[in-house]
Structure 1
Amino acid sequence: MDRALLALGLLMALPAVADEGMWTYDAFPVEAVSKAHGFTPTQAWLDKVRLGSVRLAGGCSASFVSPEGLVMTNHHCIRGCIEDLSSPKEDLLAKGFLARTPAQERRCPKVEANQLVKMTDVTARMNTATKGLTGAAFNTALKREMSAVESECTTSTDVRCDVVTLFNGGKYHLYEYRRFQDVRLVFAPEFSMAAFGGDPDNFNFPRFGYDVAFMRVWKDDAPAKSPDYLPWAKQGAKEGDLVFVSGHPGGTDRKVTVAELESHRDVYLPYMTMMLSETRGMLRSFAASSPERYRVTRARLRAVENGLKALRGRHQALADPALFTRKRQEEAELRQRVDANADLRAATAGAWDETAKALDEYRRLMPEYRMKEAGDAFSGELYALARHLVRAAEELPKPNAARLREYTDAQVPSLRQQLLRPAPIAKELDEALLAFGLGRLRETLGADDPFVREVLGTESPEGLARALVRGTKLGDVKARQVLLEGGKAAVEASKDPMVLFARKVDAQARAVRNRYEDTVEAVLKRNGERLAKARLAVYGTSGYPDATFTLRLNAGQVKGWDENGRPVAALTTFGGAYARHTGKDPFKLPDSWLKARGKVPDATPLDVATTNDIIGGNSGSPLVDRDGRVVGLIFDGNLHSLGSRYAYVPETHRAVAVHGDGLIAALEHVYGAGHVVRELRAASEAAASPAK
């Protein structure tokens, strides 16, 4: 390749600003950060922060903050656990929770925590397995090799191994995690304070939320030791300070084709926005009918509202002509450079066109796929448990490499945790969700569709949902254990109506999944890989890969922004929270805060905005300073950040965190959690800062 062309490509691959980028730890741009911020992270610093970071397998980030396994994350990341530990007589979401001794810490039934201990490049092995293959054969070979690599790595249930795709298939890495499945709740504030401001304030700033929670990982019925942790900073972050976010951004699409962006804008986002809007309406109606229904619904409703606002923000970003103009220019430039190189031109022949055709196929297939396989028609936890049991019975006897990816050896420990942990199921809500999904199935595919007729027969959606939910025994963990341990024979002999229903619909669900994987997923993966390799050949590897819910590090600053000529300050305060209190939801401070007024100076920082490049999945990420010490806890972004799925805009994109000073002040003076504060401070005193 022409050296001048390569040099220009490498220059263009660098981020426009130093704060942009969700960087893998093995390729963090140390020199760029040093030049921009005057701080050069050493390998020891990077290792310490990496090992202090935690992934919650359900979709959030966290961090170790003491050598005794204390883990910090967001309240909204573990609402499911708090809900599982609650009851009509003890509503922990409403009143909060504080364990004053390790013996009082309560185990979260479904929470798994992962600590990344090793990263290995397995690109050559994946490429060898798929060499010369296309279509379904490529996809099958890739998944089988991934399963084989993960199985070889997974030496015990304490180890989790995932082959992750980077640069849209340009590289593949094996990530090895230390797995913790005994995770116990230590502290959670009231739901009303964690979500203060509700949906109106969500993705906005100024913010005054206290979205904080602490857990502890246990091993062999004792707190697990965590020698690698992030100590607390003695002084919190202030305007202009350099700060880092270490977390697990869930997914970005900054390097996909224009055809894929158009598909997001015109097909996927409108569908999902409509579905969530309808779901929100159903949940609001259900929750309003009784206090108990409100109790079991509010967390799910909040999640739906959060997702709906996020999707609207993404759609708004893609509706901006300026963004599409930029993306088309970037793609045109890449295609021009590829066409100028005979080898790259041959390697990518037809890739853009094949990608576009696969997306057209998905447009036609999506309603059927979303209804039958993706779960939109069969909502609710009881059906999900039934399908897992049915599929586990079918998949687990197969050779590991031949199984569906959710049932490989590497995934079995998480599957067993999901199926066998005792946690209450709100049957009335489950029935309402299933009836809602079945109604959408009939509306989407039509009353005369053969599958709809097979599913509903002469029943109404409400009648069928009622019979299934009220007749099943799957709410009992012992019943699930009998079916899981009994395997295919037990499942086929079961007369449980939900199991029978899951078996009834599974053949068609698998069929549409196969069509999707063979005609859409396989084409997108294969051509995504071809285009990714071309991009790497043109621009080099100095850029960062799209987010994949794998550990990333980002540098930024504490900084406000201008909103239509109005300056937005980077910090909010306790005084601001009290001024925002109206006495009515969602701007009603809980009694604990009202009683504590005056114990914390009004000027104490509560929330903070930074320029860090984040997205969903970063919730719960620690905000650390140049000493590798905690100065905050990421819990949100501003409205402008919702478009970061596709592009980072430094002028207005802001991450939002609970400020470290405010976090400690509320623990001590509002919640009386002095023992947690003492543990954090003792850990801070004992820790040596990672070498710079």
Structure 2
Amino acid sequence: MAQMPAQAAEGMWMPQQLPQIASGLRAAGLKIEPSRLSQLTEFPMGAVVSLGGCTASFVSPQGLIVTNHHCAYGSIQYNTSAQRDLLKDGFLAASLSEELPAEPGSRVYVTVAVTDVSAQVLDRKVQALRGKARFDAIEAIQKRLTADCEADAGHRCEVSSFYGGSQYQLIKQLELRDIRLVHAPALGVGLFGGDADNWMWPRHTGDYSFYRAYVGPDGRPADFSPDNKPFEPKHHLKLARQPLKEGDFVMVAGYPGHTNRHRLPAEVDFTFSEWQSSHIRLMGEQLALIKAATAGRREAEIALADRVAGISNGHKNMQGQQASFERSDILARKSQGFADLKRWVAADAGRQARYGADLAQVERLLAQRQEIVRAELLLDYVAPQLLDTARSLYQHAQQQALPDAQRKPGFQARDSLAFSQSLETLQRRYDEPVDQGLSAHFFAQYLALPAAQLNQPLLAALGLQPGMIEAAIKARLLPIYSGSQLQQQTERMAWLTRDVAAFKASDDSFIKAAVALYADDETRESRDKELSGQIGQAYAGTMRALIAYKASQGEAVYPDANSTLRVAYGHVQGRKGAVDGADWQAFTTLRGIAAKHTGEGEFNAPAPQLAAIKARQFDDYKVASLDSVPVNFLATLDTTGGNSGSPVLNDRAELVGLLFDGTLDSVIDSWDFDAKRSRSICLDARYMLWQMKVVDKAERLLREMKVL
């Protein structure tokens, strides 16, 4: 295949695409052979793993894994109590036996194979189908391919869609289930700056933590057991020996969540003119209500810490996106690009025959979906948490009555352990007063909508009426909460083994509501599948047209991120005139921690760390040009959510840092990349090693990583 030029630092490239941009990688400064990056089971890609929402990497032959502090936050929170506050004080296991089980459901996924299965998924039969029939047929093929792949025990397989459903790949991953927390710095290190500094620069956050993956005595993936032993990965990353400096080549390998670079103008317009602004308001209200309802209740604060962190991060991200969009010409450029594509298709009879119908259909279908989203937006906020739990349990009972191959994704035998663990985790993530307050608050807004827009089965199941005010809603919901036992873990888990008849006979208030809502839930799901099937077909054709159009101009097209393994590259680089004409330096230092420290809230660095900074105990990690230890650095890396925890590698694929954030005016990059403006924020590995050695005395881990 002819090599195509890379476009600046833009692109979250699939590893198998890297030979197409090999010349760009070499020109940017990569020293190792670019083809090595496309070999998933070899170094360095074999050391990079997914946590199912974040990225991580092996850093020792004994299964030691480094990731971001905020990626391990749920496990730190799960092991925290008012008597043993690991969130505040941090954690360091003195030996293997002291390492703590991560939160239930924690996984480490090691990609071992990627196979193109487009021909199997989009066979002639599927090509002839429309709507829900097409959706169901594709889902059935995906489940069959997945089941065949998972016949190899210990693996998790997924069929992922690319380019709007025009291509499919079977991703096979080793699924490690016994994951343990090894080390996390104190909150004043791992979350220094908190929400105030989130997405901001300059930054001084020690966003790192360590897990370890374990397997059974036979070396196979296993559930937690004291008899298990550390997993021995085929490859692990080594810490860089050569100093990192501004201008150096860096790359990041990880599992970015989702981007929207190829979204159509109609989707961009709807997102930023309606959908996102509504969610910004609603998430802000969630945060304010939770803060007020947990004030002075430390156990409640701990229980909801992980949820609050997630909402806060998403809320600020959306605000940054919205601000960037409103001062940009993104919509105009997207509209022009789509118009150019349509003209290119229309200019040739063959292209018109292949792509014309899909281009004509796609925007009409998207408008239908937007009407549904607009009408049902508040439904994501109103339902009590235990009602959603009850609905999932009843769906589980319904699906268990079917042969496994006919069950919905999420309710097959392969999903049973993860489902039960999510029910178990709820025990330390739920606070009833907060849930009641949130549900009543958002129901008051929902019930103020025109009656024709309201979901009548939901109102009937909960005994609510249009126009009810918040106080009346609280009074009506109170007996529903008190009439359920689902907040008790033993009762909640017992429903996993009960059949449909037991659900229908139950007097539990949330179970009764779930049974009453089942028919409507199924009807709306069928409606959505019918529309998704139609959109999927039109969208796939539109993306095939885009790929052909770009190829005619000599351009390679990377697919939107979809939680599969990707590689991006760039350089360590500050930014000129970033804010009010001020320059952003490429590195921050320990001096900034001392300067920001207030002793309160989000800027409360630990006393031992401050003492070491004041005494200039820099050890071997001082950089002469900075006269300090580097803390964080900026890089021109194309990244997004899910890249958190991704290893940042130098030109020889050695670990120099961890990616953990982007600047606030760069978060719009999930929709539109700007190489001049975009910066990712990375933890400098030298700061992590300094903190571990000088402050936290984590010599055992440093020796294991062979840096001592």
What TM-score results when the alignment is normalised by the length of structure 1?
A: 0.90
In structure 2, what is the equivalent of residue 348 of structure 1? 355
Measure, in 1, the Cα distance between the counterparts of 2:492 and 2:689.
42
Give the fraction of aligned pairs with identical amino acids, expressed as a percent: 27
The superposition leaves residues 112-152 of structure 1 with CA deviations (integer Å, 9 ceiling, x where unpaired) of: 11111100000111110521222222222222211121111
What stretches of structure 1 of length at least 5 have no aligned partner? 1-5, 686-692
The superposition leaves residues 526-567 of structure 1 with CA deviations (integer Å, 9 ceiling, x where unpaired) of: 111011111222323822111001110111111101114322
**Matched residue SS, 2:81:** coil
Q: How does 1:467-486 map to 2 (within 5 A)?
A: 467-486=479-498
The CA deviation at 1:511 is 2.0
Q: How does 1:422-433 map to 2 (within 5 A)?
A: 423-428=427-432, 429-433=434-438
In structure 1, what is the equivalent of residue 411 of structure 2? 407
Measure, in 1, the Cα distance between the counterparts of 2:336 and 2:667.
22
In structure 1, what is the equivalent of residue 365 of structure 2? 358
The CA deviation at 1:206 is 0.8
The superposition leaves residues 204-241 of structure 1 with CA deviations (integer Å, 9 ceiling, x where unpaired) of: 11100111111111112221111221121123421111
**Matched residue SS, 2:410:** helix
In structure 1, what is the equivalent of residue 247 of structure 2? 240
Deviation larger for 615-624 or 291-300 = 291-300
Measure, in 2, the Cα distance between the counterparts of 1:348 and 1:198.
48
The superposition leaves residues 498-536 of structure 1 with CA deviations (integer Å, 9 ceiling, x where unpaired) of: 3223222232223222222222x2232111101111122
Measure, in 1, the Cα distance between the counterparts of 2:450 and 2:93.
50
The CA deviation at 1:444 is 4.9
In structure 2, what is the equivalent of residue 114 of structure 1? 109
Measure, in 1, the Cα distance between the counterparts of 2:236 and 2:437.
43
**Matched residue SS, 2:236:** coil
Measure, in 2, the Cα distance between the counterparts of 1:48 and 1:40.
11
Measure, in 2, the Cα distance between the counterparts of 1:25 and 1:31.
15
Question: Alignment partner for residue 140 of structure 1, among 132, 136, 141?
Answer: 136
Measure, in 2, the Cα distance between the counterparts of 1:199 and 1:347.
49
**Matched residue SS, 2:498:** helix
Q: Give the conservation status (yes or no) of the 8 Å contact 1:365–1:516.
A: no
In structure 2, what is the equivalent of residue 531 of structure 1? 542
One-letter amino acid of the counterpart of residue 356, structure 1: E
- Describe the shift of the 1:171–1:449 C-alpha distance in structure 2 as closer, same or farther (beyond 3 A): closer
Q: How does 1:132-211 map to 2 (within 5 A)?
A: 132-155=128-151, 158-211=154-207
Question: Alignment partner for residue 95 of structure 2, among 90, 101, 110?
Answer: 101
In structure 2, what is the equivalent of residue 31 of structure 1? 23
The CA deviation at 1:91 is 1.9
The CA deviation at 1:243 is 0.9
What stretches of structure 2 of length at least 5 have no aligned partner? 217-227, 466-471
Q: Give the conservation status (yes or no) of the 8 Å contact 1:31–1:40.
A: no
Q: How does 1:35-434 map to 2 (within 5 A)?
A: 35-37=27-29, 39-46=31-38, 47-57=42-52, 59-108=53-102, 109-128=104-123, 129-155=125-151, 158-220=154-216, 221-372=228-379, 375-380=380-385, 382-420=386-424, 423-428=427-432, 429-434=434-439
- Describe the shift of the 1:158–1:84 C-alpha distance in structure 2 as closer, same or farther (beyond 3 A): same
Measure, in 2, the Cα distance between the counterparts of 1:286 and 1:593.
33
Matched, 1:558 2:572: yes
Measure, in 2, the Cα distance between the counterparts of 1:246 and 1:393.
40
Q: Give the conservation status (yes or no) of the 8 Å contact 1:33–1:40.
A: no
**Matched residue SS, 1:528:** helix
Q: Give the conservation status (yes or no) of the 8 Å contact 2:80–2:302.
A: no
Measure, in 2, the Cα distance between the counterparts of 1:323 and 1:448.
34
Which structure ranks higher in relative contact order (CA pairs < 8 Å, sequence separation ≥ 6)?
1
**Matched residue SS, 1:199:** helix
In structure 2, what is the equivalent of residue 690 of structure 1? none
Q: Give the conservation status (yes or no) of the 8 Å contact 1:148–1:400.
A: no
One-letter amino acid of the counterpart of residue 684, structure 2: H
The CA deviation at 1:362 is 2.5
Question: Alignment partner for residue 556 of structure 2, among 528, 542, 552?
Answer: 542
- Describe the shift of the 1:97–1:493 C-alpha distance in structure 2 as closer, same or farther (beyond 3 A): farther
Q: How does 1:506-655 map to 2 (within 5 A)?
A: 506-519=518-531, 521-540=532-551, 542-562=556-576, 563=578, 564-597=580-613, 598=615, 599-600=617-618, 603-655=628-680
Measure, in 1, the Cα distance between the counterparts of 2:504 and 2:655.
53
Measure, in 1, the Cα distance between the counterparts of 2:411 and 2:364.
30
Deviation larger for 352-361 or 448-457 = 448-457
- Describe the shift of the 1:419–1:539 C-alpha distance in structure 2 as closer, same or farther (beyond 3 A): same
Measure, in 1, the Cα distance between the counterparts of 2:120 and 2:107.
29
Measure, in 2, the Cα distance between the counterparts of 1:395 and 1:549.
27
**Matched residue SS, 2:317:** helix
The superposition leaves residues 457-485 of structure 1 with CA deviations (integer Å, 9 ceiling, x where unpaired) of: 16944345544444443344443443213
- Describe the shift of the 1:96–1:207 C-alpha distance in structure 2 as closer, same or farther (beyond 3 A): same
Deviation larger for 318-327 or 206-215 = 318-327
The CA deviation at 1:363 is 3.0
Measure, in 1, the Cα distance between the counterparts of 2:573 and 2:538.
40
Question: Alignment partner for residue 454 of structure 1, among 451, 454, 460?
Answer: 460
In structure 1, what is the equivalent of residue 691 of structure 2? 666
**Matched residue SS, 1:349:** helix
Measure, in 2, the Cα distance between the counterparts of 1:346 and 1:404.
36
One-letter amino acid of the counterpart of residue 211, structure 1: D
What TM-score results when the alignment is normalised by the length of structure 2?
A: 0.88
One-letter amino acid of the counterpart of residue 55, structure 1: S
- Describe the shift of the 1:51–1:476 C-alpha distance in structure 2 as closer, same or farther (beyond 3 A): farther
**Matched residue SS, 1:596:** helix
Q: Give the conservation status (yes or no) of the 8 Å contact 1:231–1:630.
A: yes
Q: Give the conservation status (yes or no) of the 8 Å contact 2:446–2:454.
A: no
Q: Give the conservation status (yes or no) of the 8 Å contact 2:463–2:476.
A: no
**Matched residue SS, 1:229:** coil
One-letter amino acid of the counterpart of residue 658, structure 1: L
Measure, in 2, the Cα distance between the counterparts of 1:15 and 1:264.
29
One-letter amino acid of the counterpart of residue 594, structure 2: Y
Measure, in 2, the Cα distance between the counterparts of 1:344 and 1:152.
37
The CA deviation at 1:392 is 1.2
Q: Give the conservation status (yes or no) of the 8 Å contact 2:46–2:234.
A: no
One-letter amino acid of the counterpart of residue 534, structure 1: A
Deviation larger for 529-538 or 435-444 = 435-444
In structure 2, what is the equivalent of residue 689 of structure 1? none
**Matched residue SS, 1:77:** coil
Measure, in 1, the Cα distance between the counterparts of 2:462 and 2:652.
61
The CA deviation at 1:450 is 2.6
- Describe the shift of the 1:433–1:225 C-alpha distance in structure 2 as closer, same or farther (beyond 3 A): farther
One-letter amino acid of the counterpart of residue 27, structure 1: Q
Aligned-residue CA RMSD (Å): 2.6
